[in-house]
Amino acid sequence: MENYAIEMLNITKRFPGIVANDDITLQVKYGEIHALLGENGAGKSTLMSVLFGLYKPEEGRILLDGKEVKITSPRKANELGIGMVHQHFMQIKNFTVLENIILGVETTKNGVLQMQEARQKVVELSERYGLKVDPDALVRDITVGQQQRVEILKMLYRDCKILIFDEPTAVLTPQEIEELMGIMRNLKNEGKAIIFITHKLDEIKAVSDKCTVLRLGKCIGTVNTADATTHQMAEMMVGREVNFHVDKAPQKLGEPVLSLKNIYLKSEVADKYVLNNISFDVHSGEILCIAGVEGNGQSEIVKVISGLMQQESGTIILNGKDISNESRRQRIIDGLSYVPEDRHKHGVILDSTLEENLALKKYFLPEYQNKGIINFKSRRELADKLISEFDIRSSEGRETITRSMSGGNQQKAIVAREIDAKHDVLVAIQPTRGLDVGAIEGIHANLVAQRDEGKAVLLVSFDLEEVMGVSDRIIVFYEGEVVANVRPEDVTINELGLYMSGSKKGENLC
Amino acid sequence: MLKKLLMSKRDYSGVLSSLIAIVIGLLVGFIAMIAVKPSSALAGLRMLVTGGFFNGLTTFGSVFFYATPIILCGMGDAFAFKASIFNIGGPGQMHIGALVAVYVTCRIGLGAPWSTIVGLLCGALAGALWALIPALLNAYKRVNIIITTIMMNYIGMYLAVDLLKKSSIFDSTKNQSINVPRDLRVARLGLDKIFVGSAIDCGFFVALIIAIILWFILEKTTFGYEIKAVGKNRDASDYAGIDARRTIVLSVLISGALIGLGGGFMYLGWAGKYLLGSNTQLSEGFTGIAVTMLANNNPIACVFSGFFLAYLTQSGSYMQAVGFAPEIVKVISSVVVYCSALSRLVSEYLRKRKLDYIAAEKKGDAIR
């Protein structure tokens, strides 16, 4: 008889039109890091929401230390010692780290806060687990990695024994990921039970002891991580063999389609340029990647190209036409498609239907309206066509409210809409962020197909594997400047790292 | 029964939630009456339900008149709300609209019916212009429109009263606007033959037609699609090339126009309402918010909810006949209005129930 910290036995949770969790069993011991692996929409989040008291399962039992418990709310989960580090941090930006940690469980004496005690406990915890963070810094001043440590400290401060990490590495730099792994090992050695949700296989391999794989709401199996290869786990996850390589035909390079000349943009907060004399061309039949550490001007350059931000000076030429001062709508008509960075903010209207979202770039064309009156028939046909062509999965087809779809399928819908719009240039910023292997594969194939059709593709990515795998040419951004212009076959990842950190500067910068 | 309604193909949850809110409102009103005067409570409740027919069709006809401005106002608020703009500048826009409508109608001298038609259109235009200032501030500078519209209510009221006093349509002995000549009032199209002695005119039917037009704009046109897109996600609309600023300004302009038009109908009617020389806000401008809340922001439903609230007010004026002080009327109507704000909670609950039913059905399928 083994002693499990937490057992979720035969959990079944249904939503209208979909069985999100179908008879899933997950057992985790103290001192164990248990990875939960699955594609987007496989049911990982639902299962964790059940454990965290956000959803009530139709069937199944939850045992804590061998005793059955009913978890009815996140508060109850906390009381039972279950804590969750969310993907999006729940923090008050204008409070200090310490204030954030104690929020909700303040120690008081006659109504007066006892900060000294709390501070001591926080300092002790952060030393014990190697969670370096200044308790008096304001949360808005610290890095994302440090904010994540604050979340972890919050859980520890509340004496949680079971910690859930929901895709914790999605927001971190490679260096911070290393540190997080170390922290997780410390927690494990101190006897905590850890559930680690991810779809990055190398992380699972690096840190976890066991791995449970979900696919389409079903439990595929639990393996000892040491005994399984990443390929085997990937296969379990997607149900077929996975192609880690991006297949590309030889390049047929054409004329420049999008040209940027001497773009300058001033920072909104500081007295410096976030884009400092940027010039480059994107040719037809080419995938040009902008590599670099996040925050070196990549989002700004894409916003300038799409017209969401207005450059201070410089020209943008699309198909020989100067679009520097055109409206966003005109740029779209002139042939610019754009997969935005923030899916939920810019990419989709979450509370509209899938059909309405798929029409967002086309509804004003004569085919879809007549004197301002919507042609619903052709709009429906468009939606159905894109849904089947791009395999966008949802519970109610084109009528589905987009909010209820999985992140991967929302992204597929955006990519479908942008590729379907008449265009010569496709700009995509972080199109695979937070997606699983299967969806990433699909999106990479889409990008390559675009290039083979003779479109110009501009891809911004912070993922070096992706940069190396997909691109025909790479430019590196550092502090708002282009510091390298290279071909992937002429450069190593290490060299790229040097460019990205500003310690090396290339030649022939466009 | 509930299940059947919820599971039918058309979505009734909005209508149901409003009805439930009304029933709760009436119940609370009934309890209040029991608390005040148990012996008359039943008679009070009866009066609340039947008071709209107190003098037969005469009373009922006037309900149409009182409903018109609050329906127009409610539809105006609903339209702005679709673009996620909370226009609570109803009283100000209505006051300015009413003043312009009455002035133009009485002084333009085109004769019936053109003076009245032009007057009403000018009233709508004035309401729209009064809404334009907060709309521009919100669209271009992201200034909180709740605050600006509230301030514009006061500015509008003082301005309208001041202009009225300086104008040729002011009767200084009565401290109110002059009588609108009978032939320049809103046409009655023979309705006064059916509803003898009531204040009914064709305004209600104009509002009904406008409701259908608004529904058409919102559901069937690209402009409506843009408004809803901007309302649900301004950033994504901007990114997709929709001019969010223009869309917001237009939706608020239409909102203000409808409210201004409501003001015109209220003071060009047959109920003997006059623009006053004292500083009073037009409360109908706020009632519009209750109308649209009870209607879940649906312009067609605004016609029904506006009519309901007008009916209640009309019934209320006869409550004294069964021994309740006039104040109890205000208690009851405000409780109903208050409850209408709850209808959103109720509709959320009904939506959940519907999902449960669907889930249960799916489960049944799986077992079979």
C-alpha to C-alpha distance for A54 and A75, rounded to whole angstroms: 10
Q: Does residue B62 belong to any structural domain of this protein?
A: no
DSSP reduced 3-state for B221: strand
Q: What is the DSSP letter of A343?
A: I
Whether residue B17 is found in the same domain as residue B86: no
- Cβ proximity of A416 and A389 under 8 Å: yes
The closest alpha carbon to B261, from B98, B130, B77, belongs to B98
Whether residue B112 is found in the same domain as residue B188: yes
Whether residue B170 is found in the same domain as residue B231: yes
Q: How many residues does chain A have?
A: 510
pLDDT of residue B327: 66
Prior bond to A57 cis, omega within 30? Answer: no
- The string of pLDDT tens digits covering residues A412-433 is 899 999 999 889 999 999 888 7
Whether residue B294 is found in the same domain as residue B342: no
* pTM, 2 dp: 0.75
Fold held by A246-335+423-510: Rossmann fold (3.40.50)
How many domains does one find in chain B? 2
pLDDT of residue B96: 97
Q: Does residue B46 belong to any structural domain of this protein?
A: no
- Cβ proximity of A122 and A153 under 8 Å: yes
Fold held by A6-238: Rossmann fold (3.40.50)
- The string of pLDDT tens digits covering residues B215-253 is 999 999 999 999 999 999 999 999 999 999 999 999 999
* Mean pLDDT in residue range B348-355: 72
Q: Do B228 and A346 count as a contact with CB atoms less than 8 A apart?
A: no
Residue A18 has pLDDT above 80, yes or no: no
The closest alpha carbon to A41, from A446, A449, A409, belongs to A409
Whether residue B209 is found in the same domain as residue B339: no
The distance of A144 to chain B (nearest Cα, Å) reads 24
Chain B residues inside the 8 Å CB shell of A420: none
Q: How many CA atoms lie within 13 A of B212 on its CB side?
A: 5
* Mean pLDDT in residue range A498-502: 76
A6-15 and A18-28: which strand pairing? Answer: antiparallel
Distance of CA B2 to the CA centre of its chain: 29
Residue B51 has pLDDT above 90, yes or no: no
Instruction: Select the residue from B84, B237, B239 to test the A interface by mutation, using most A Cβ atoms within 10 A.
Output: B239
Q: Do B355 and A348 count as a contact with CB atoms less than 8 A apart?
A: no
- Residues of the domain holding B23: 12-37+323-362
- The string of pLDDT tens digits covering residues A155-176 is 889 889 999 998 887 667 667 7
- Cβ proximity of A457 and A253 under 8 Å: no
Annotated domain spans of chain A:
6-238, 246-335+423-510, 347-421
DSSP for B172-241 reads TTTTEEPPPPGGGSPP-TTHHHHSTTS---THHHHHHHHHHHHHHHHHHBHHHHHHHHHHH-HHHHHHTT
- The string of pLDDT tens digits covering residues A122-165 is 898 888 888 888 888 888 888 777 888 898 898 889 889 999 99
Whether residue B139 is found in the same domain as residue B207: yes
Torsion of CA B13, B16, B17, B22, to 10 degrees: 170
- The string of pLDDT tens digits covering residues A44-67 is 888 988 998 888 888 899 999 989
Q: In chain B, which residue's Cα lies nearest the Cα of A333?
A: B241
Residue of A327, A332, A346 lying closest to B236 (CB–CB): A346
Distance of CA B288 to the CA centre of its chain: 3
Q: Please tell me which residue, B352 or B259, carries the higher pLDDT value.
A: B259
The angle that helices A437-452 and A407-420 make with each other, rounded to 10 degrees, is 10
Whether residue B23 is found in the same domain as residue B111: no
pLDDT of residue B366: 43
Q: Does residue B132 belong to any structural domain of this protein?
A: yes
Contacts with A10 (C-beta within 8 Å, 6 or more apart), sequence order: A23, A24, A25, A59, A60, A61
Q: Do A328 and B237 count as a contact with CB atoms less than 8 A apart?
A: no
Whether residue B129 is found in the same domain as residue B163: yes
C-alpha to C-alpha distance for A177 and A185, rounded to whole angstroms: 12
The closest alpha carbon to A487, from A473, A476, A497, A475, belongs to A473
- The string of pLDDT tens digits covering residues B201-216 is 999 999 999 999 999 9
- The string of pLDDT tens digits covering residues B77-102 is 999 999 999 999 999 999 999 999 99
Whether residue B26 is found in the same domain as residue B99: no
pLDDT of residue B159: 97
CA angle, corner A76, sides to A75 and A79, nearest 5?
90
The distance of B241 to chain A (nearest Cα, Å) reads 4
Whether residue B297 is found in the same domain as residue B341: no
- Give me the total of CB pairs closer than 8 Å, taking one residue from chain A and one from chain B: 79
Q: Does residue B6 belong to any structural domain of this protein?
A: no
Q: Do B239 and A308 count as a contact with CB atoms less than 8 A apart?
A: yes
Contacts with B272 (C-beta within 8 Å, 6 or more apart), sequence order: none
Beta bridge partners of A473: A288
Whether residue B126 is found in the same domain as residue B255: yes
Q: In chain A, which residue's Cα lies nearest the Cα of B364?
A: A14
Q: Does residue B268 belong to any structural domain of this protein?
A: yes
Whether residue B85 is found in the same domain as residue B141: yes
- The string of pLDDT tens digits covering residues A184-195 is 999 999 899 999
Question: Tokens for A373?
Answer: 């009156």
Q: What is the DSSP letter of B319?
A: G
Last residue of some domain: B275, B303, B331? B303
- Cβ proximity of A488 and A467 under 8 Å: yes
DSSP reduced 3-state for B110: coil
* Mean pLDDT in residue range A375-398: 91
Residue of B220, B238, B243 lying closest to A308 (CB–CB): B238
Question: Tokens for A445?
Answer: 């194939």
pLDDT cut 70: percent of chain B above it: 88
The closest alpha carbon to B233, from B15, B67, B29, B83, belongs to B83
Question: Tokens for A510?
Answer: 């466009």
B82 touching chain A per CB within 8 A? no
Q: Does residue B310 belong to any structural domain of this protein?
A: no
Q: Does residue B120 belong to any structural domain of this protein?
A: yes
Q: Does residue B44 belong to any structural domain of this protein?
A: no
C-alpha to C-alpha distance for B182 and B192, rounded to whole angstroms: 14
Contacts with B352 (C-beta within 8 Å, 6 or more apart), sequence order: none
pLDDT of residue B64: 95
**Which residue carries 């007066």 as its tokens?**
A112
